[in-house]
Chains A and B, each alone.
Chain A
């Protein structure tokens, strides 16, 4: 799959004043929770929810996300989603 440099755009989460430190753990977790809340209210196809998805997928390690997804399915995610 060749990628066209003309149309390609680098996109990544930008500086967030809520998390100005080197430690970005909360940035990742908060965006994961926000995404889950967002889709719980608006549904998975709601476009504005995507910004949370893009942020947490870029920041959180894949293992963490898998673990949280498992916890969510088991109803054991330590956050209120409603």
Chain B
């Protein structure tokens, strides 16, 4: 039980009824909107159920089921206007959130995400060698027979994105063959990866952790077997990782040029 309280829910779990825990302000906003909508839905549901119940139980001689009323101007006005006002009331925060999420105003780092049949390719082109070589790697799902203890079936990958915490990230999402969808519930985004088009989305991760996502646009036979895994680490750890990657890249370059 204690573990349950300590651990964050960053993966889908069986019988999970709620959204995954938020790691970004974007997703927190979505949680808030979701809770508010659910509250309104419950109020409406109770109101309508109560009226129905009263009408069914006592079908005459009460104000809600007056069987001799053939035409009621005021009543019609009310049952038209009231739902319209409720819808407007719910749409305002929804649109506000939608357009706030669209903004990518001051990113610190850009990462490219390319969907392919059926894996993802990540490019860190903010970091380039003088030769114009950049860091890019592919990420495949771990097959069942290669899973290690504690790894998640259908979610873990051989390589993962590594990004620094508390850093405003911009993800540029595209595809090379058919449409895919880059989805990270904990970070609060779901962006279609469309061939020939670059979509951007931002995320400001506020806690370290490992986040998972799954392709959410039907893209072929292995659509369900191309998850994405993102490790959010401290800035210093990110530097170490980056250093290692650059070192690998350099040695590859040397081989390519001189071997």
Contacts and interface: CB of A to CB of B under 8 A. Distances in A.
B152 interface: no
Contacts of B125: 57-58, 62
A8 B236 CA distance: 10
Nearest to A4: B239
A11 B176 CA distance: 26
A38 interface: no
Interface of B: 102, 104-110, 112, 114, 123, 125-126, 128, 132, 134, 136, 167, 170, 172, 174, 176, 191, 196-201, 235-236, 239-240, 242-243, 246-247, 250
Nearest to A12: B110
Interface of A: 1-5, 8, 10-15, 21-25, 27-28, 57-63
B104 A15 contact: yes
Contact of B126 (A4, A12, A21, A61): A12
Nearest to A14: B106
B198 A24 contact: yes
Contact of A58 (B110, B197, B235): B110
B239 A8 contact: yes
B176 A22 contact: no
A1 B199 contact: no
Contacts of B170: 12
Contacts of A62: 123, 125, 134, 136
Nearest to A26: B198
Contact of A1 (B109, B112, B136, B243): B243
B196 A25 contact: yes
Contacts of A10: 108-109, 126, 167
A59 to B, nearest CB: 6
A contact patch SS: loop
Contacts of B110: 12-13, 58-59
Contact of B239 (A3, A59, A61): A3
Nearest to B107: A12
B235 A5 contact: yes
B114 A61 contact: yes
Given A23-B198, A25-B198, A63-B176, A1 B250 contact: yes
A1 B25 CA distance: 34
A65 to B, nearest CB: 9
A22 B102 contact: yes
Contacts of B172: 24, 59, 61
A29 to B, nearest CB: 9
Given A3-B242, A61-B123, 16 more contacts: A1-B250, A3-B246, A5-B236, A5-B239, A10-B108, A10-B109, A12-B108, A15-B106, A21-B102, A23-B199, A24-B172, A24-B199, A58-B125, A59-B110, A59-B172, A62-B123
